[in-house]
Structure 1
Amino acid sequence: MYRCFAALLVPTLFLSSVNALADSDLAKKLSNPVSDLISVPFQHNWDNRYGPVEGGRKYTLNIQPVIPISIGEDWNLISRTILPVVSQEEIFPGSGDQTGLSDTVQSAFFSPKEPTEGGVTWGVGPVFLLPTGTEPLLGTEKWGAGPTGVVLKQTGPWTIGGLVNHIWSFAGNDNRADVNSTFVQPFLAYNTPTSWTYTLQTESTYDWEAEQWNVPVHFLVAKVFKVGKQTYQIQAGPRYYAESPATGGQDWGFRLNWVMLFPK
């Protein structure tokens, strides 16, 4: 039986036109990975044809708090954490079921508070891989680190940009494969005046050890809304694997993202 860690209850919403402009501004900030907006996304990912015989199932809940910290008049430090909670079944023949934490990825972007004269927003910093996997099949059992960066431009309703990082392992279990991977996330988003957001992106990873790409492509639709005084965004859409290793997801998947916002 397929198991999930979280169930979502979406209440009936009544949005006033008074909040529409503020919500659309928040939606635009969410399209910027290094905006000065505290958010806590709970990103649910389902893959029903996983592994070499396409008989496995995998559910991943990524808990992804984003916390901007002011470090002077001109700069922010943006902390972005990804803590995956995983439930998987038969990802390869005889593997059984595993449930628990996977490895944590922690990024820190140093980013100017204002865009450049050309309207470009950017940020650079370190990224760390923390071996928080609770079972061997859920993590790499390696410590890793490397550089990360993001660049984007927002013009009118459009946001276009990309986020990249590269992680090398430097310590951990000597019996496990080394980590040497590049992550590339180009994205294109369109924000409407009524706080809807349409996003097309990939979250591609190249494993230099195995010389393999994993290229899931997402088309996502999101809406910002309020319930009482709390602001949320809900986002959903399909995922298609344009390329993946035999041990990864195959064909189609689905994402549902529930984001809590804490604007200043």
Structure 2
Amino acid sequence: MNLPTCLTFVCGIASVLPSAVLAQSLPADEKTSAAQLPGSGPEDSDSTKPQGSETAGSDAAELEKLAKATANPLGAAWMLWFQNDYTHMDGDNDALPSNGRWANSTKFQPVMSFPFDVGDDEWNLIVRPVVQYQSSPLDDSFGDALQGRAGDIPTDKLLSHNYPYNGRTTGFGDTGLLTLTGPARDDGLVWGVGVTQLFPTAEEDVLGQGKYQAGPAVLLASLAPNPGGWNVGVLAQHWWSYAGDDDREDTSQSDIQYFLNYRLSGTELVGMTPNVRVNWKADSGEKVNFPIGLGYSNVIKINKLPVRFAVEMQYSVVKGDEYDADWNLRFMFIPVIANPFKSY
């Protein structure tokens, strides 16, 4: 999975183009203004209406709607998605310390939804740029030594001592852009298709791949309408390189984020949302990293701002032999903001 700075936004949106940590349309008959979030408007001035339990019940209903909205990858919610992954890297390579090394990636993903009509049906266009700031347990000299094959580890034991594993490289990585479009549905079967792109904006070779990349994106999910049900789905992205640094290797890689979450209550989810990574050009035994996990997510209000937060521990049951992610601790902090084009 890796908040990760030129987005080339116009290119992505014009071609209806395009992460692993999600929004849902709310009924059109809600009277909340499109310029404000539910619960953020002025207080009811009718002094004859009860204020206690009725207000609490209204707030709970609003939070439940927002919880559904933020759990739908193709919904109406606008979100400021912050995700941090603290990852233990390990492998069989003799150059690695016996206890492995730790990497950190912080991603920022503003998730924006734009409604439009297809015949009599309403569809959503999701635009999701991804900016990432990384700390890699590799010295920046790795990039030159490996001809830019970021993430690779030299297997020649005679060269191992030349690579300073005590070093660390920190900075911005490559930038992504995911766009998806599909029918706007609150729950049930949700699907979307689009294009995903990667741009070589990394500050150092070891923080990126040095290639312009693009490919298809597909979403398929089943979302429970009420607590006690399951949200199950997959968002698959694939990239091929088409331009960039000639000294860097061409790419063919996939990121498949699957989610399996139980709706514990109106706002709470328990389950997992890991990212399966496949490098189709890697050697046998190094192609796939397949994690499983267990996490908890809830939607609360901080003052009047709705926020989804989540924490999840993941373990890779399938991983590369030489050097790959082993354990991962993921945190998500996701403020929900008003959609200027549609009320929730």
TM-score, length-scaled by structure 1: 0.86
Offset of 1:234 from its aligned partner? 1.1
In structure 1, how many angstroms separate the alpha carbons of the residues matched to 2:186 and 2:296?
26
Work out whether 1:111 is the aligned partner of 2:182: yes
Which residue of structure 1 lines up, in the alignment, with residue 128 of structure 2?
Answer: 80
Greater relative contact order, per chain length (Cα 8 Å cut-off, separation 6+): 2
Which residue of structure 2 lines up, in the alignment, with residue 128 of structure 1?
Answer: 197
In structure 1, how many angstroms separate the alpha carbons of the residues matched to 2:89 and 2:214?
31
The structure carrying a bigger helix percent of its residues is 2
Question: Could you list the runs of 5+ residues in structure 1 that have no partner in the other structure?
Answer: 1-14
In structure 2, how many angstroms separate the alpha carbons of the residues matched to 1:260 and 1:189?
20
Q: Give the total of aligned pairs.
A: 247
Work out whether 1:138 is the aligned partner of 2:207: yes
Equivalent residues in 2 for 1:211-250 (5 A)? Answer: 211=283, 212-245=287-320, 246-250=322-326
In structure 2, how many angstroms separate the alpha carbons of the residues matched to 1:158 and 1:48?
30
**Which amino acid in 1 is paired with 2:129?**
T
The 8 Å contact of residues 174 and 199 in structure 2, kept in 1 or not, is answered as yes
In structure 2, how many angstroms separate the alpha carbons of the residues matched to 1:49 and 1:179?
22
The 8 Å contact of residues 272 and 312 in structure 2, kept in 1 or not, is answered as no
Equivalent residues in 2 for 1:1-264 (5 A)? Answer: 16-50=56-90, 52=93, 53=96, 54-72=99-117, 74-90=122-138, 93-95=163-165, 96-114=167-185, 119-155=188-224, 156=226, 157-211=229-283, 212-245=287-320, 246-250=322-326, 252-263=327-338, 264=343
Offset of 1:149 from its aligned partner? 0.9
The 8 Å contact of residues 24 and 191 in structure 1, kept in 2 or not, is answered as no
In structure 2, how many angstroms separate the alpha carbons of the residues matched to 1:114 and 1:225?
23
Question: Could you list the runs of 5+ residues in structure 2 that have no partner in the other structure?
Answer: 1-54, 139-150, 154-162
Offset of 1:16 from its aligned partner? 4.4
The 8 Å contact of residues 234 and 256 in structure 1, kept in 2 or not, is answered as yes
The 8 Å contact of residues 75 and 186 in structure 2, kept in 1 or not, is answered as no
Q: Secondary structure at the match of 1:167?
A: strand
Whose radius of gyration is greater, 1 or 2? Answer: 2
Q: Secondary structure at the match of 1:206?
A: strand
Percentage of matched positions with identical amino acids? 26
In structure 2, how many angstroms separate the alpha carbons of the residues matched to 1:145 and 1:202?
22
In structure 2, how many angstroms separate the alpha carbons of the residues matched to 1:200 and 1:177?
33
The structure carrying a bigger strand percent of its residues is 1
Distance 1:193-1:22 versus aligned 2 partners, 3 A rule: farther
TM-score, length-scaled by structure 2: 0.67
